[in-house]
Chains A and B, each alone.
Chain A
């Protein structure tokens, strides 16, 4: 797709007000806000500029060939290891450890669109619960109340369907559109949860149940998780924000532009952003200020790649904690089959959630909290179902296998438990010392093992899921093993926010402590992980950051 003709073409040798690196959940919001506020903006995005017409219901290509994930121009591998004592290995085939979509809209294009606001406690658990030795457990420098108006803006301006639930934090506005129609998994989950005394609620989703802001309602096609929306009902920044940024005439989106380095001058200010353009030529865009919104893996990678004699450990890394405290949220999966068809391949993934276990509870004996939801998960498309959806201990080929395929696909559902992640310095993103991409950039190396408390919380939620599904009348229930994640779709915490430059990378306004005209705004600036659905908070932070950054720019404070 050709970017809108309303876009300006800025000269790379003349300073624009802002370069934003990454057109994803945060970058799309920042582009819209800053251009609307009158600033000139260039957005550099390594992926393609796809639009709704380019998306397809092609499970093989999207799920197995990673069509939305792969670098569009070259091989860009990643490595993974459990601990710093191991040598990280390149993942062969399958999803990469840092799992994110490339393209205008970023991962907001392919996400499942669960849009839980954080609770008040998420911002201040260190104060509420006390220290956790040997971890990075800390309060945010901001509180829920400060972010609340921006949550409301996400709901109204990006577009979130929902209905307030009994455990939600206070809100200033209702949801703009009602929840999505309940699916069979939601009905069963609600029934089972109520039967054991819980308080299920409709799931807030960044998918439109009714038309809003000139965009249409969902048509329930069923291709949400991992796919791009063909009708623009999913509230990606591609659908909701980028067109508004373009309409200002001040925002230029440059897709297929992979950033290699941010240059710094002798005064310690960033001056230009070096990238390979869509034709493979090296370019450098000058800017008065740079905002990195590349995600919790690519952002630290870029800061490391931008090292200089002034900052040998990486740009904005005088604290030495860039890349550290990676949080991915713990997960548990519980599967069930029922007597009659649920047909979970239709419509959105999630229609009901349970937040009864959101808050920490000392009685559990470990730190953490979490949320649960009902969804088809990997049973919404047939190849994944055939490979992962059937009960364990049964034939995986032959006549019995075929009978099971016939029986289970329409009768299955899952309950997904999502938990807190304890922030650990040992969970991190670094540059791989050996493996490079085709252009010579060191590969992303992820080191990750969930904290024991995260796994305990995931197991606790799985125990509740088994009870709920039993109370809902499931014919069969089985558990997927709870173990440390090797693929993280929530890339949080690697450039954490804080007031103290010794223990954080950016300040409360997303400005790098070390570099006055460098801002970082994406999942990397999280201090805590929340309970498993981070994009809503990433976008609220982006709306808030844009307001403060605009103020600084107007006042000559950048």
Chain B
């Protein structure tokens, strides 16, 4: 009936959505994340001063830099690493994800071992070519480790900068989210005319 493109959800997405039911749709991975993020101030401090990590080794952090940049790469705007996502992850593993920290650490180390096995000549994941990195990560897309990495990357990229990622609102700027405490109509392109403004003024992201 409609001229617009209709797409059907694939199975992976379907299973993903299932975890939280029809009302809330999706979004919550089946991992524990119960506690308040307490280490965030430390994360911001560490990020700002360039000092080390609380819960990650330097090597893990370097590899994670490359990994999170595969999830959200740099192009004309910063990738996940540049926005401080690894600082966020470091804090999360000592805070609200602390009960999953050992699972995550184990998953990361296993992944790095698998990488060495798959690319015997190279030393590290971070030293692979971008294409090799993508291929390697694709091969573990269905693992719990990847699920956690993906979840943490998105949380770090788009949570409040106080948590260590989203530096200078770079994650928010990427999607066009402008964090203010008050707005006035018109809010968007399609309600501009109703509220007496030309649509052109609203046609910017």
Contact = CB atoms under 8 A, between A and B. Distances in A.
B202 interface: yes
A60 B160 contact: yes
The secondary structure that dominates the B interface is: loop
A401 B72 contact: yes
Contact of B72 (A70, A397, A466, A479): A397
Interface size class of B (residues with CB under 8 A): 35 or more
Interface string B1-32: 11111111110011001111111111111111
Contacts of B28: 64, 93-95
A427 to B, nearest CB: 14
A67, A386, A391, A458: most-surrounded residue (chain B CB, <10 A): A386
A485 B27 contact: no
A480 B155 contact: no
Given A181-B195, A220-B182, A93 B34 contact: yes
A386 B71 CA distance: 12
B87 to A, nearest CB: 14
B53 interface: no
A188 interface: yes
A340 B157 contact: no
Contact of B181 (A59, A219, A330): A219
Contact of B176 (A220, A221, A409, A485): A409
A385 B7 CA distance: 18
Interface stretch (B54-62, B113-121, B183-191): B183-191
Interface stretch (B44-52, B102-110, B167-175): B167-175
Contacts of A480: 9, 17, 22, 25-26
A349 to B, nearest CB: 12
Tell me which of B34, B159, B175 has the highest count of chain A C-beta atoms within 10 A of its own C-beta. Answer: B175
A145 interface: no
A58 B160 contact: yes
B26 A399 contact: no
A122 B25 CA distance: 27
A181 B190 CA distance: 13
Contacts of B185: 181-183, 220, 347
What's the dominant secondary structure at chain A's contact region? Answer: loop
B187 A482 contact: no
B202 A340 contact: yes
Given A92-B31, A93-B34, A405 B150 contact: no
A24 B204 CA distance: 41
Interface in A36-87: 57-61, 64-67, 70, 75
A402 B154 CA distance: 11
B29 A483 contact: no
B9 A93 contact: no
Interface in A480-519: 480-489
A377 interface: yes
Contacts, number: 256
Contacts of B128: none
Contacts of B187: 183-184, 220, 342-344, 346-347
A202 to B, nearest CB: 12
Contacts of A75: 34
A340 to B, nearest CB: 4
A483 B27 contact: no
A108 to B, nearest CB: 18
Count class of interface residues, chain A: 35 or more
Contacts of A198: none
A6 interface: no
Contacts of B4: 469-470, 474-477
Contacts of B178: 345
B154 A386 contact: yes
A183 B29 contact: no
Contacts of B77: 406
Contact of A92 (B30, B175, B184): B30
Contacts of B151: 387
Interface in B76-102: 77, 96
Interface in B115-165: 134, 137, 150-151, 153-155, 157-160, 163
A481 to B, nearest CB: 6
Given A340-B199, A398-B71, A486 B188 contact: no
Nearest to A66: B34
Given A70-B34, A398-B70, A331 B22 contact: yes
Given A60-B160, A183-B188, A470 B150 contact: no
A479 B14 CA distance: 11
Interface in A360-389: 377-378, 381-388
Interface in A435-485: 458, 466-467, 469-470, 474-485
A126 to B, nearest CB: 26
Given A344-B188, A406-B175, A467 B2 contact: yes
B34 A402 contact: no
